[in-house]
Amino acid sequence: MECTVKWVDGMTFLAETGTGHVLAMDGAPEAGGRNLAPRPMELLLAGAGGCTAFDIVLILKRGRQDVRDCQVRLSAERAAADPKVFTRIAFTYTVKGKGLKPDAVERAIHLSAEKYCSASIMLGKTAEITHEWEIVEVE
């Protein structure tokens, strides 16, 4: 896996991933940024959310569950002093579907948290991570 990050100006940077996708990052105005894009740590948190949501949907689909939507809300706290690593991250899942089995959803979340989601497992080395979930039945 590769990524190239290029300074644009001020505190704005463009990252080009090894798969050819480009994304912007920017700093807060008090740090010289213009607030034009997410902060790097926000992207790290978003990456963990995307990683686990991907796992959940894939595991449920492979288990023949009729999953229609998956949303994960992440709420994080960071250390007060440098390095300001994440110290706590709460993952709250809302999984929508028809006739979803609660044990299947719980199993998918557990497998993501313990085995498959490299991003959240890595963040768990510095942060206390919690998981909550709810199922919403759809027609």
Instruction: Return the sign of the alpha-carbon dihedral for residues 104, 135, 67, 74.
Output: negative
Residues facing 129 on adjacent strands = 89
pLDDT of residue 20: 97
pLDDT per position as a tens digit, 8-19: 999 999 999 999
Residues facing 96 on adjacent strands = 69, 136
CATH topology of domain 40-137: GMP Synthetase; Chain A, domain 3 (3.30.300)
What number does CATH give the domain 1-38?
2.20.25.10
pLDDT per position as a tens digit, 24-54: 999 999 999 999 999 999 999 999 999 999 9
Overall average pLDDT of the 61-80 stretch: 98
Each domain of the chain, given as residue ranges in start order, spans: 1-38, 40-137
Residue holding tokens 């199993």? 107
Q: What is the largest CA-CA distance in the chain?
A: 51
pTM over 0.85: yes
Q: What are the start-end ranges of the E strands in the chain?
A: 3-9, 12-17, 22-25, 66-78, 86-98, 128-137
Residue 114: CB atoms within 10 Å = 11
CA 93 – CA 78 distance, rounded (Å): 21
